[in-house]
């Protein structure tokens, strides 16, 4: 037996998989690594030709299709019931959770979570050429079309990304359903720019929020095609942007046309930081929303709604992605604050930096170690879920096996409002860390 033969189950051993009800359509071209536990490949799943499956954490559940239209490589990934991997071409999955009914076209996902599909109004999760990178969380029925790239991005239910999009370091919520005109959407060709000229990434953006958006009752957002999105952006529910717009800053509900750049050039010193307190406050606001989302996953999805071990696992995987996003944002914010020292040493005694800016940056540098310590983990802001919210969920669950979005949308008004108050209290606990430590200009 050569090394390759010892690494993978033999054709004879694969026949034993088939005897258990696993459909291996061409055992001579399917390679299953010996670190995959046989019982983790469940009866009823279909493994198409030219698939490679490895990893002790890999599980493939009943009626899942692997490698439908091209070679599939599955490494340490969990594939839920009725999921389709590769309906448009080759797919590579590494350390990825693919929830029930997810439909992946052709592309690559790594260290990401898809919660799955609950409707077929939109009959795909990812299209051709997807790249779903570390920290991406696609909640129920969210999707991306052709040639899209996400990283450290959270898409709430039904959110749709068009084609040829780069959308990293952002959270987008809003919308009330999967039908056209009801879900939040990013138009084709739009890019969220998440680096500044100086190379820092304290640039994450909020399109909607978690505290309100989790209840699936807020106005949708529509980001027009070919938008230049310059993070950090704070866009309220109901925001629309025109196609071809250059967008930054804070966006109010209504149609936003953005602005163009003036012609010519100006002197620019990338080592000089300006508006630092505003940047830090805005990024802490994102930490606040991620903290609320963290406790929603922990106490609502996992604690109240999950009905099976499989559903609980998928929700726990989503929780891990939320915490990953939190830690990434805190890391990038810390890098930004630490870089202020260079700015101060060069410009604080010149007329190129205002006294107000100098004072704010000094305060940030002085007090950041304590602030960073208090923000170290979203777990520190735990607040027990209100009984009225758990009761509202319990009443929906008595109606039978319901989809997640049906449960949330169907809750009574009192339960939803108490839930929003609860999450806002958690989020404000995070915001108050920066507000209490830094003397705001009054």
Helix (H, G, I), strand (E, B) or coil at 53: strand
Both tokens of 118, joined, read: 């609950």
> Is residue 56 classed exposed, middle or buried when 0-12, 13-18 and 19+ CB atoms within 10 A define those classes?
exposed
Residue 209 near residue 235 (C-beta atoms within 8 A)? no
Instruction: Name the H helices within 131-207.
Output: none
Answer whether residue 368 is part of any domain: yes
Both tokens of 147, joined, read: 């040639």
Beta-carbon contacts of residue 93 (< 8 Å; ≥ 6 apart)? 72, 73, 74, 75, 77, 79, 85, 104, 108, 109, 110
State the DSSP code for 229: E
- What is the per-residue pLDDT for 5? 61
Residue 25 near residue 48 (C-beta atoms within 8 A)? yes
Half-sphere exposure of 437 (CA within 13 A, CB side): 25
- What is the rounded CA–CA span in Å between residue 55 and residue 383? 37
Answer whether residue 298 is part of any domain: yes
Per-residue model confidence as pLDDT tens digits over 216-252: 999 999 999 999 999 999 999 999 999 999 999 999 9
Answer whether residue 386 is part of any domain: yes
User: Going along 140-264, which residue ranges are E strands?
Assistant: 143-144, 148-155, 160-161, 165-172, 185-186, 191-193, 205-207, 222-223, 228-235, 239-241, 246-251, 254-256
Q: Residue 275's CB: how many other CB atoms inside 10 A?
A: 11
Q: Residue 357's CB: how many other CB atoms inside 10 A?
A: 20
The residue segments making up the domain with residue 8 are 1-110
Chain position carrying tokens 């809003």:
174
Answer whether residue 15 is part of any domain: yes
Helix (H, G, I), strand (E, B) or coil at 369: helix
Residue 109 near residue 130 (C-beta atoms within 8 A)? yes
Q: Which of 110, 126, 154 is the last residue of a domain?
A: 110
Answer whether residue 123 is part of any domain: no
Helix (H, G, I), strand (E, B) or coil at 197: coil
Answer whether residue 118 is part of any domain: no
Answer whether residue 330 is part of any domain: yes
Q: Among 273, 294, 279, 377, which residue's Cα sits nearest to residue 330? A: 377
Helix (H, G, I), strand (E, B) or coil at 148: strand
- What is the per-residue pLDDT for 3? 55
Supply the CATH number for residue 84's domain: 2.160.10.10
For the chain, residues with pLDDT lower than 50 are 1, 440-442
- What is the per-residue pLDDT for 441? 41
- What is the rounded CA–CA span in Å between residue 187 and residue 167? 11
- What is the per-residue pLDDT for 4? 58
Q: Among 146, 132, 58, 113, which residue's Cα sits nearest to residue 293? A: 113
Chain position carrying tokens 């239910």:
157
Both tokens of 112, joined, read: 């990401």
Q: What predicted TM-score, i.e. pTM, was given to this entire model?
A: 0.96
Q: Which of 58, 83, 110 is the last residue of a domain?
A: 110
- What is the per-residue pLDDT for 295? 98
Residue 44 near residue 62 (C-beta atoms within 8 A)? yes
- What is the rounded CA–CA span in Å between residue 294 and residue 379? 8
Residue 407 near residue 397 (C-beta atoms within 8 A)? yes
Total domain count for the chain?
2
Beta bridge pairs of residue 39? none
- What is the rounded CA–CA span in Å between residue 238 and residue 252? 8
Answer whether residue 301 is part of any domain: yes
- What is the per-residue pLDDT for 64? 98
Q: Which of 76, 92, 110 is the last residue of a domain?
A: 110
- 255 sits in the region (left: phi over 0; alpha: psi -120 to 50; else beta) called beta
State the DSSP code for 38: G
């Amino acid at each position: 037996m050569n090394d390759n033969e010892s690494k993978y189950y033999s054709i004879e051993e694969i026949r034993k998989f088939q005897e258990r009800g696993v459909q291996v359509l061409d055992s001579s071209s399917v390679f299953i690594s010996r670190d995959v536990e046989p019982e983790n490949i469940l009866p009823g799943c279909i493994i198409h030709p030219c698939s490679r499956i490895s990893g002790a954490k890999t599980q493939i559940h009943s009626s899942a299709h692997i490698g439908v239209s091209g070679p599939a490589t599955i490494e340490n990934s969990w594939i839920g019931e009725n999921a389709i991997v590769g309906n448009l071409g080759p797919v590579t999955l590494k350390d990825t959770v693919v929830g029930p009914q997810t439909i992946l076209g052709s592309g690559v996902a790594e260290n990401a979570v898809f919660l799955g599909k609950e409707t077929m109004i939109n009959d795909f999760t990812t299209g051709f050429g997807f790249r779903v990178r570390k920290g991406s969380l696609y909640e129920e029925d969210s999707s991306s079309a052709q040639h899209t790239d996400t990283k450290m991005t959270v898409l709430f239910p039904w959110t749709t990304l068009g084609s040829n999009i780069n959308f990293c370091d952002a959270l987008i919520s809003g919308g009330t359903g999967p039908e056209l005109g009801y879900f939040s959407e990013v138009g084709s060709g739009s890019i969220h720019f998440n680096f500044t000229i100086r190379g820092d990434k304290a640039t994450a953006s909020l399109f909607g929020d978690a505290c309100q958006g989790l209840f699936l009752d807020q106005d949708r957002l529509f980001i027009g095609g070919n938008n230049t999105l310059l993070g950090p952006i704070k866009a309220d529910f109901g925001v629309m942007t025109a196609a071809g717009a250059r967008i930054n800053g804070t966006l109010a509900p209504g149609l936003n046309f953005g602005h163009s750049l003036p012609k010519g050039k100006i002197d620019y010193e990338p080592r000089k930081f300006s508006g630092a307190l505003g940047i830090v406050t805005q990024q802490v606001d994102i930490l606040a929303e991620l903290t609320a989302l963290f406790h929603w996953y922990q106490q609502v999805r996992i604690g109240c709604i999950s009905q099976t071990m499989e559903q609980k696992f998928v929700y726990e995987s989503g929780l891990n992605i939320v915490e990953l996003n939190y830690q990434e944002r805190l890391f990038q914010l810390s890098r930004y604050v630490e870089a202020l020292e260079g700015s101060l040493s060069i410009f604080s005694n010149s007329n190129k930096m205002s006294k107000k800016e100098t004072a704010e940056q000094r305060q940030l540098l002085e007090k950041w170690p304590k602030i960073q310590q208090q923000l170290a983990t979203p777990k520190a802001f735990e607040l027990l879920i209100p009984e009225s919210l758990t009761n509202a969920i319990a009443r929906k669950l008595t109606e039978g096996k319901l989809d997640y979005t049906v449960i949330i949308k169907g809750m009574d008004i009192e339960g939803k409002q108490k839930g929003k108050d609860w999450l806002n209290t958690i989020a404000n606990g995070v915001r108050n860390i920066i507000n209490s430590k830094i003397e705001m200009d009054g």
